[in-house]
Amino acid sequence: MAKNIQAIRGMHDILPEQSPRWQQLEQTVKSLLAGYGYSEIRMPILEKTDLFCRSIGEVTDIVEKEMYSFADRNGDSLTLRPEGTASCVRACLENGLLHNQTQKLWYAGPMFRHERPQKGRYRQFHQIGVETFGLAGPDIDAELIFITARLWKALGLEGIRLEINSLGSSEARAAYREQLVEYLSAHEELLDEDSKRRLHSNPLRILDSKNPDMQAMIEKAPRLLEHLDEDSRQHFERLKALLDAAGIEYRINTRLVRGLDYYCKTVFEWITDRLGAQGTVCAGGRFDGLVEQLGGRATPASGFAMGIERLIALLEEAGAETPIPRPHAYLVMFGDQAELRGMQLAEQCRNAVPGLQLVVNCGAGSFKSQFKRADKSGAAWALILGEDEMMTNTIAVKDLRGDSEQQNIDQAELENWLHTVVDKQLENFGE
């Protein structure tokens, strides 16, 4: 017997019993972002490899080690998107969304990185991303943080802390980079192999190293915040004032640099201690130079991305109740004529009753087996159509979750009865 084919390592199925929590999270985010005036955009999963090399940076871990890239039949190098910002910028440029206008956009979907799978980190993972274009001030940076803070409250999540920093302008960062390289070179014997490789290509990433043997040396390194240009300094001060006024608590982390080359000025991360080593659940900041870097006009931009798997893990860790979809009714039928009439009735009721969730038994079976299916479905009511009901033009209604007595109603009254069931559920939900 042939061996079953297994899923690729680091790529997981989302099973039916898990989907309701994902749907609840996605719907919460969708409603929240609509309330702030953000519109959804959907981009392809495959892009030209050069898009990510030009945007993320040739010497980042993502481009050097983690991208799923391959040549297609035409010999073009394509890549499964490792993140969404570059794709969003490409889509905006290609479709003329940035010329003399501002945009507030969001997207959701799978991303791909070939890295070592561990808790909260997968090779196919899902992100919700938010990007804004044409807005240069710290007010939009603050709004992005307000959105995420409100999301944690909407989801009932606690213990997520905010860290912020400023990377300044590219000019200020270049001047700081020289000082940092000089300092790190003087302590090169303390650098691990990965940091030595980055010393002259991407030295700011060394500040984000988690190597415990390097922490004391990194702590004494020059601080970028002390080398900001005046515009970046004022931008950061105003951001802090906006956060203070809104009562958003934060910590300034001078070593927060983010892993992608296109960031400038504001960067931020929301971090938790409840997921082990993979503590970042949401991160973002400004990327004012990326649109121009990808061929457009200079355009201020900012955004964030959050990992859906990590948020799901946080919800589970917090013991959040998993929403379980429960049908209003399950239709049990016995006999060929009852099946013909039952399927017809079900379609009529679905047409007439908005929001009705009605499961019809398929696959025949005895009354006993059909009732087992009805109970397993979670339906509140069983609708029973057998020979007796066919003769009297009625339908039996049995309460599966309470102690109401079984009753018979005319088939012509079924739509009105189901209207009452659906309306009552909506009333209970509103309470």
Q: Give me the DSSP letters along 179-203.
A: HHHHHHHHTGGG--HHHHHHTTT-G
**239 phi, psi to nearest 5 deg:** -60, -45
Topology agreement, domain 19-168+228-317 and domain 329-430 = no
Distances (CA, A) of 264 to 100, 251, 254: 22, 18, 14
- Note the pLDDT of residue 429: 42
- 3-class SS letters over 377-392: HCCCEEEEECHHHHHH
Place of tokens 């429960």: 326
pLDDT tens digits, the chain, 431 residues: what are they? 778 899 888 889 999 889 999 999 999 999 999 999 999 999 999 999 999 888 776 556 666 678 889 999 999 999 999 999 999 999 999 999 998 899 999 999 999 998 776 666 789 999 999 999 999 999 999 999 999 999 999 999 999 999 999 988 888 887 888 888 888 888 888 888 888 887 777 787 788 777 888 888 888 888 888 888 999 999 999 999 999 999 999 999 988 876 556 678 999 999 998 877 668 899 999 999 899 989 999 999 999 999 999 999 999 888 877 777 789 999 999 988 999 999 999 999 999 888 899 999 988 888 889 889 988 988 988 999 988 899 999 999 999 888 888 899 899 898 888 988 888 765 554 43
Instruction: Return the pLDDT at 430.
Output: 42
Q: Is the domain 329-430 a CATH 3.40.1180.10 member? A: no
Q: What is the DSSP-derived secondary structure letter of residue 222?
A: P
Specify burial of residue 167 (Cβ count, 10 A radius: 0-12, 13-18, 19+). buried
Domain chopping of the chain, boundaries: 19-168+228-317, 329-430
Cα dihedral across residues 345, 351, 357, 359: positive or negative: positive
Rounded to whole angstroms, what are the CA distances from 303 to 27, 130, 135, 189, 225?
20, 5, 11, 38, 21
Q: How many residues belong to the chain? A: 431
Residue that the structure tokens 């200079």 belong to: 298
Nearest C-alpha neighbor of 264 from the set 169, 138, 132, 178: 169
The predicted pLDDT at position 120 comes to 60
Cα→Cα distances 227→167, 259, 260, Å:
9, 20, 20
In the numeric block, the tokens 């490789």 are attached to 197
The closest alpha carbon to 360, from 352, 370, 372, belongs to: 370
In 36-188, where does DSSP find H-type helix?
49-56, 61, 85-94, 138-155, 170-186
Where does residue 295 fall: left (phi above 0), alpha (psi -120 to 50 degrees), or beta otherwise?
left
Residue 62: predicted pLDDT: 67
Nearest to 399 by CA among 415, 423, 375: 375
The Cα 3–Cα 301 span in angstroms is: 50
Q: How far, in Å, CA of 158 to CA of 153, rounded?
A: 8
Instruction: Provide the pLDDT for residue 258.
Output: 67
Written out in words, the top-level CATH class of the domain with range 19-168+228-317 is alpha beta
